[in-house]
Amino acid sequence: MWTFFKIINFVWLLSSTYAWFTTSVPLMMVLLLVNAGMIFSLSYLPVEIKFDKLIGRVLLAILGLVVWAIWCDGYVMGIYTLMSYLPVVVLIMLPLHLKKDLLQFVTKWISILLGLGLIVYAVTLFATPPSFGRFVYSEYEPYDNYLFYIKTTFDHGTFVRFNGVFLEPGHQALLCTFLIIANKFNFRKNPYLYILLVSVLFSFSLAGYLLLFMGWALYWIKNIQRALLIGAVLTGLVVFAVNWDLGDNAVNELIISRLEYDKDKGIKGNNRFFHNTDYVYQKAQKSGRTMTGIKDSVNMELVGGAGFKIYVIKYGWVGVAFALLFYLSVIPPQCNVRYTSIFLIVLALCFIQRSYPGWYSWLLPYVLGIYINRNPEKLRLLADDR
């Protein structure tokens, strides 16, 4: 039954991050099956189900998210929100050794999927192997389907980015980044993390690069000597990329040049919103409705992108506050304050450009990470994790 539970979590992790082979099933149906499967399997696991103050606090935070979702978006979105966040309660109830095993299982199989995808990706860089046909998803250009890797047919005019089985390189990069942080950057004990790291590197995701580096730097830089060394290495790499082949290389075009200042966008890589989205957001600001959202009075078909402005337009800053309260509510007693703060900072930075706080690719790594990496000397005192 524990294996069944792990598989359910793995499937939902892939579905919520839009792996191509999960997109044919409606997310709401998957969510209902996932929640039912997790609750069913939980009843057969050696887990003590108790509703203490922590669980009560988390359930209250979920209730706030659900009520606000209903207010802003109707009952269907309220049910969807409830189903999205409810699995976290089950994760919290798991004993420590099961939390560790679940994280190891998810990390291992995500890396295997991406590792196979990287092999196919490497082949497609130098040849055009036969595919298994076209995969079509309405919001994207068609893909050439190689099962473990779907290659976009859209010509970006630059180096093809690696997205593995996911619809976007950014989806893949952020999932890998959060899993690496959840595993505490422990590459020595968990070699699977190297595959996740390579996947992030070949995603050429600016967000993935910055978030992974930020998490790593906050975790490892504890003195000025280390900071100076890392700064020198990064400077050297940037200088090399800018000058290699006169800047005509993938690293410079896809990453470094996007960090240059642009008078319209500020930073060139800051392209998470469509022009109409900026207009609607400014309209909400002028009307003073950024607190509660403006979705009911605008044509949402004109709004596109993936950053925080979309979330504010839909749910307002009140919705942002509810999401933050939820992430704070799940923090366990005797947590590792430094590690938990680092994870929260990375998630907050991610929210700016890709605001999906209900995705399981955020929730599972965060919850497992902060519970597994609690202070060891205090952890022994917690009866629920004996």
Q: DSSP string spanning 232-297?
A: HHHHHHHHHHHHGGGG-SHHHHHTGGGGSEETTTEETT---B-HHHHHHHHHHHHHT-TTT--GGG
In the predicted structure, residue 342 carries a pLDDT above the cut 50: yes
pLDDT value for 259:
47
Q: What is the mean pLDDT of residues 214-221?
A: 83
Mean per-residue pLDDT for 348-369? 92
Instruction: Classify the phi-psi angles of 369: left when phi > 0, otherwise alpha if psi is within -120 to 50, otherwise beta.
Output: alpha
**Averaged over 354-380, what is the pLDDT?**
86
pLDDT surpasses 80 at 324: yes
Taking alpha carbons only, the member of 279, 276, 282, 284 closest to residue 302 is: 276
Tokens of 270: 């800051």
* pLDDT band at residue 301 using 50, 70 and 90 as cut-offs: low
Q: How far apart are CA 352 and CA 217, in angstroms?
A: 19
pLDDT digits (tens, 9 = 90+) for 244-273: 444 444 444 555 444 444 545 444 444 555
Q: Is 101 helix (H, G, I), strand (E, B) or coil?
A: helix
Which comes out higher in pLDDT, residue 302 or 175? 175
In the predicted structure, residue 284 carries a pLDDT above the cut 60:
yes
Q: Are 204 and 159 in contact (CB under 8 A)?
A: yes
More confident residue, 211 or 377: 211
pLDDT at 247: 42
Write the single-letter amino acid at 162.
F
Burial 250-284 (b: 16+ CB within 10 A, else e): ebbbbbbebeeeeeeeeeebbebbeeebeebbeeb
What's the confidence (pLDDT) of residue 277?
72
What is the rounded distance in angstroms from the CA atom of residue 178 to the CA atom of residue 193?
11
Closest CA to 80 of 356, 368, 366: 356
Per-residue pLDDT at 157 exceeds 70 = no
pLDDT of residue 73: 86
Tell me the average pLDDT of the chain. Answer: 83
Task: Give residue 69's pLDDT.
Answer: 93
Mean pLDDT, residues 368-383 taken together: 71
Which pLDDT does position 339 carry in this prediction? Answer: 92
Q: Is the pLDDT of residue 275 over 80?
A: no
pLDDT at position 18 is: 94
The model carries a pTM of 0.86
pLDDT value, residue 245: 43
Of residues 29 and 45, more confidence is placed in 29
- pLDDT classification of 205: cutoffs 50, 70, 90: confident
Predicted pLDDT of residue 51: 80
- Give the bridge partners for 145, in sequence order: 150
Residue 286 — very low, low, confident or very high, per pLDDT cuts 50/70/90?
Answer: confident
Q: What's the mean pLDDT in 210-231?
A: 73
- In this structure, which amino acid lies at residue 259? L
What are the respective helix, strand and coil percentages of the chain, to the nearest 5? 65, 5, 30
Question: How far is it, in rounded angstroms, from Cα 4 to Cα 227?
Answer: 44
Confidence of residue 320 (pLDDT cuts 50, 70, 90): very high
Structure confidence at residue 363 as a pLDDT band (50, 70, 90): very high
